Amino acid sequence: MEAALRMDQIYKAFPGVVAVNKVDIEVNPGETVALIGENGAGKSTLIKILSGAYKCDSGKIYIEGREISDYTPKQAIDLGISVIYQELNYLNYMTVAENILLNEFPRRKNARFLIDKKAMFARSLEIQRQVGIDYIDPASPMSRLTVGEKQLVEIAKAYARDLKVLVLDEPTSALNDRECEKLFQLMDRLRAEGKAIIYISHKLDEVLRVADRVVVMRDGKRVGSMPIAEATKDEMIRLMVGREIGEMYPIHSREFGDTLLEVEGMSNGMLKNVSFRLRRSEIIGFFGLMGSGCDEIVRALFGAMPAEKTVRVNGKPVGIRCTADAMRQGMAYVPAERKSEGLILMHSVKRNATLLRLRQLQKGIGFDKRAEESLTGEWIDRLRIKTPSTETVVESLSGGNQQKVVLAKWMMNQPEILILNDPTRGIDVGAKAEIYQLIENFCNQGLGVIIVSPEMAEVMSVADRIYVVYQGAITGEFTREEATQELIMQKAIGE
Amino acid sequence: MSEKKNGFTGKSRMRRFLSGHASEISIATALLIICVVLSFCSPYFLQIRNLKNILSYVSIAGVMSAGLTVVMLMGCMDLSQYAVMAMIGMFIASMMKQGLHPLLAIVIALLMGAAAGGVNAFTVTKMHIVPIIATIGMQLICRSIAYLSTGGIYIMVDNDIFYNIGYKEIAGLPYLVWALLITNFGLAFVLSNTAFGRKVFAVGGNAQACRLSGISVEKMRLAGYLISGITAGLAAVLCTTQVSAAYPTAGNGQEMDCTAAVFLGGLAVGGGKGSIIGTFIGVTLIAVLLNGMTLLSINAYYQVLLKGLVLIFAVYIDQVRQLRSAKKVQAG
């Protein structure tokens, strides 16, 4: 039998990293293949290649035995490849029928430029019946549907266009149990009709429920493939982790000081009763898979996101309702999105670096430009920022040096608690090592550091203590000595 | 790296100045060229009296443009200034008719301007209305109040202090021109020499980064609208003195003049980059062009056409500049 989809030796490199390294995947008609792997294992890149969003550097893709190459996302859809991303992609104010039949509205016979509304609703209902969601009113606007229903409508939309390969990227992350079951039923129907499905998920129970075969990726490579009958959770976890940690920067052990920060019962729509503590000179790390809530924890701590919480700094209870409150308690926050949240790209290194010290640089009615220049120069030296001058626009610096400018800005403010949200995102290996070295230096000066990273290896090599987060709650806490990749991964997938 | 960082020679300092002020320099050059051409076309153009005329004429738009620059640097807009000016003019004129002291009237004008700015800040930052819509609403409201105050009739203002401001000179320059220069250079100083000024640029450059750096973007925008409102209040005084009367149609149809001048002065759409000096040159350039058209007896209706072309051209230049710098970053 001809495979519905065959991806052959797919290779894709980005500057500094091989994202997908000679990966083979084959999905037969009527087969569901689960694709699993840690954050950054290369799943998303592989799917983007399939959907036409990226072009692979080498490798071949076959649909029903026919090679396809150099196609756009639009052409991919015409070829029968549909990807349903986590972030759904629909027109909120249009009806279900309009969404399902977008681009191929039924026209009136005597006036081709007008849409035949009656035929549109009838056709939509027919498609919905075929996929088993005819209980949704085709005339209802998308905005009235639940997340789960919207997702089912998106699948129906894919189905309406001669679907061959359906890719579902973490489809259940926003669904409740009942909605999940609806989705699985729909998948079973499609499978019975001979559609090929690629199912990406971190939830191993679901994988065991829906898949016929599991493919595991790690570090851009395919490291395992097995029929579901032979798959066990332990085996899947073992394959997913097992990453090389050796090359990361070694952080030396230190004496920890007194308790600096205690957080208790941090809760909001996303977080559930999160508690943790941090000592002076200590580095704590938060690890969780995508969407676990790590990002929300540090944002809520820094007052950038509302949450109920009890926070004590140096033993004293403090209220943190906005970022300025957090800064008054000696906190500094290096955001994950360096370009959109950390820097003013169009401004100079100097302007970015001294943003928090403006009041101190005010001299009488004027501005002490000489002190500003020398302060910036001092930090450029201390953090070894490679920039032609203090007046250079930060947009033109490399990622690593941009991140150092953000660090300089915060360190000038003499914080006690440094919060780093994914501090090495998009930074090359050399600059990463420098950032780790800086973090260690800060710790030796008595700062407490909180680091969030989607890379387990990074958290394991940098943090003295690791909190594992799953669905907005802390599910595990390990010291550096206790932590193993298997243990962390088990907690991160809620086992 | 350290020698690269600190050892600027005089030459590279000069180059740095030139590249940092590219938009101001290019518009100043344009102004110069237009002046040279006009001085050949009309013998009256370069006469001191004509130049003072131009600056007096530009004082109203120039004062408000300076305030508007602060708002626009923060990525906002204020299209209500001219209407606020007309409304305040009517108020102080009628109060002076009732016997209010002219100096007190000036203070009240500034306070009312601040209040109008406060309303704009409220609709923009608290009600989260897009600035362009919010301030057009304010424009319509204030214009209506100006008409309603007298049923559309102008109010004569007859007192020495206002007459002197409008027609007399001090230290070789008209009072109007002094008001223009002091407002512009004062705000230019504040923007480049105070923590507040630095934050104005920062908020326009990246509001989200500012929020995460503990800067209250809302308070900054409030301050911006207060400044732009106060300049509208000052403009109301200048406008009333110039014709010895307040009239409800003052500035009608000129609502976009200041915006055009600010863009012409090199302000980046969305804020974060720009300068009061650039705006000042921009507003002067428009005035010189209009003055030239008058001297050359070109039909006045073409003046509106010219303003429209200037507005589109100025924003287009900004787009070209942004495209080019985006390419440069990609290549680097």
| Residue-level pLDDT at A246 | 52
Beta-sheet strand order (sheet of A473-479): A331-334, A417-421, A448-452, A283-287, A465-470, A473-479
Residues of chain A neighbouring B20 (CB-CB closer than 8 A): 391
A344 to chain B, closest Cα gap in Å: 5
Average pLDDT over residues B186-201: 94
What are the C-alpha distances in Å from B252 to residues A352, B87, B137, B172?
41, 12, 15, 31
pLDDT in tens, A7-24: 999 999 887 778 899 999
pLDDT in tens, B318-329: 788 778 877 765
Phi then psi for residue A311, to 5 deg, are -120, 130
Q: What angle do CA A195, A197, A203 make, to 5 degrees?
A: 150
pLDDT in tens, A282-303: 999 999 988 889 999 999 999 9
What CATH number has the domain spanning A259-492?
3.40.50.300
Residues of chain A neighbouring B194 (CB-CB closer than 8 A): 362, 365-367
**Does residue B212 belong to the interface with chain A, where contact is any CB pair within 8 Å?**
yes
* Whole-number Å distance between alpha carbons of B281 and B61: 12
Phi then psi for residue A445, to 5 deg, are -85, 0
| Residue-level pLDDT at B105 | 96
Average pLDDT over residues A80-99: 89
Q: How confident is the model at residue A263 (pLDDT cuts 50, 70, 90)?
A: very high
* Whole-number Å distance between alpha carbons of B4 and B15: 15
Neighbours of A121 (CB within 10 A): 19
Is the Cβ–Cβ distance between A256 and A463 less than 8 Å? no
Among A136, A129, A133, which residue's Cα sits nearest to residue A95? A136
Tell me which DSSP letter residue A355 carries: G
What's the sign of the alpha-carbon dihedral B257, B263, B269, B272?
negative
B66 to chain A, closest Cα gap in Å: 20
| Residue-level pLDDT at B6 | 42
Give A289-292 contacts, CB < 8 A, sequence gap 24+.
A289/A38, A289/A39, A289/A202, A289/A454, A289/A470, A289/A492, A289/A493, A290/A39, A290/A170, A290/A202, A290/A454, A291/A86, A291/A170, A291/A173, A292/A469, A292/A470, A292/A471, A292/A472, A292/A492
Domain with CATH 3.40.50.300 in chain A: 5-240, 259-492
| Residue-level pLDDT at B3 | 39
Tokens representing A354 are 């001294």
Tell me which DSSP letter residue A426 carries: T
Q: What percent of chain B has pLDDT over 70?
A: 92
Average pLDDT over residues B172-176: 91
Average pLDDT over residues B187-210: 94
| Residue-level pLDDT at A313 | 95
Average pLDDT over residues B133-161: 94
pLDDT in tens, A344-378: 999 999 999 999 999 899 888 888 889 999 999 99
Residue B332 has pLDDT above 70, yes or no: no
Nearest to A396 among B208, B210, B332 (CB): B332
What CATH number has the domain spanning A5-240?
3.40.50.300
* Whole-number Å distance between alpha carbons of A226 and A328: 54
| Residue-level pLDDT at B8 | 46
Concatenate the DSSP letters of all residues of B225-239 into one string: HHHHHHHHHHHHHHH
| Residue-level pLDDT at B32 | 92
B142 or B313: whose pLDDT is higher?
Answer: B142
Average pLDDT over residues B68-74: 97
What is the amino acid identity at position A405? V
Domain ranges of chain B: 58-252
Is the Cβ–Cβ distance between B56 and B295 less than 8 Å? no
Interface contact flag, B214 A327, Cβ < 8 Å = yes
User: Considering only alpha carbons, which residue of chain A is nearest residue B328?
Assistant: A396
Tokens representing B171 are 């230290």
Average pLDDT over residues B81-91: 97
Pairing of strands A66-68, B173-174: unpaired
Tokens representing B290 are 């209009």
- By residue count, chain A amounts to 495
Nearest to A340 among B1, B208, B216 (CB): B208
Q: What is the ipTM of this complex?
A: 0.85
Q: What percent of chain B has pLDDT over 90?
A: 63
Global model pTM greater than 0.95: no
| Residue-level pLDDT at A261 | 96
User: Considering only alpha carbons, which residue of chain A is nearest residue B5?
Assistant: A389
Q: How confident is the model at residue A232 (pLDDT cuts 50, 70, 90)?
A: confident
> In what helix (H) or strand (E) does residue A88 lie, and over which residues does it extend?
none
Q: What angle do CA B110, B115, B118 make, to 5 degrees?
A: 130
Mean pLDDT, chain A, rounded, equals 90
Residue B10 has pLDDT above 60, yes or no: no
pLDDT in tens, B235-268: 999 999 999 999 999 999 888 899 999 999 989 8
Mean pLDDT, chain B, rounded, equals 89
Residue B53 has pLDDT above 50, yes or no: yes
| Residue-level pLDDT at B1 | 36
Which residues of A sit within 8 Å Cβ distance of B?
302, 304, 322-324, 326-327, 333, 335, 340-347, 351, 354-356, 358-359, 361-362, 365-367, 377, 380-381, 384, 386-391, 395-396, 409
Q: How confident is the model at residue A238 (pLDDT cuts 50, 70, 90)?
A: confident
| Residue-level pLDDT at A235 | 87
Among A291, A287, A289, A286, which residue's Cα sits nearest to residue A301? A286
What are the C-alpha distances in Å from A410 to residues A377, A379, B213, B214?
15, 11, 9, 11
| Residue-level pLDDT at A243 | 62
* Whole-number Å distance between alpha carbons of A348 and A405: 10
Average pLDDT over residues A193-214: 91
Q: How confident is the model at residue B331 (pLDDT cuts 50, 70, 90)?
A: low
Residue B217 has pLDDT above 60, yes or no: yes
Q: What angle do CA A350, A355, A357 make, to 5 degrees?
A: 100
Residue B300 has pLDDT above 80, yes or no: yes
| Residue-level pLDDT at A277 | 95
Pairing of strands A5-14, A331-334: unpaired
Tokens representing A237 are 């976890």
Average pLDDT over residues A408-427: 92
Residues of chain B neighbouring A391 (CB-CB closer than 8 A): 16, 20
Average pLDDT over residues A216-223: 90
Q: What percent of chain A has pLDDT over 90?
A: 60
A429 or A162: whose pLDDT is higher?
Answer: A162
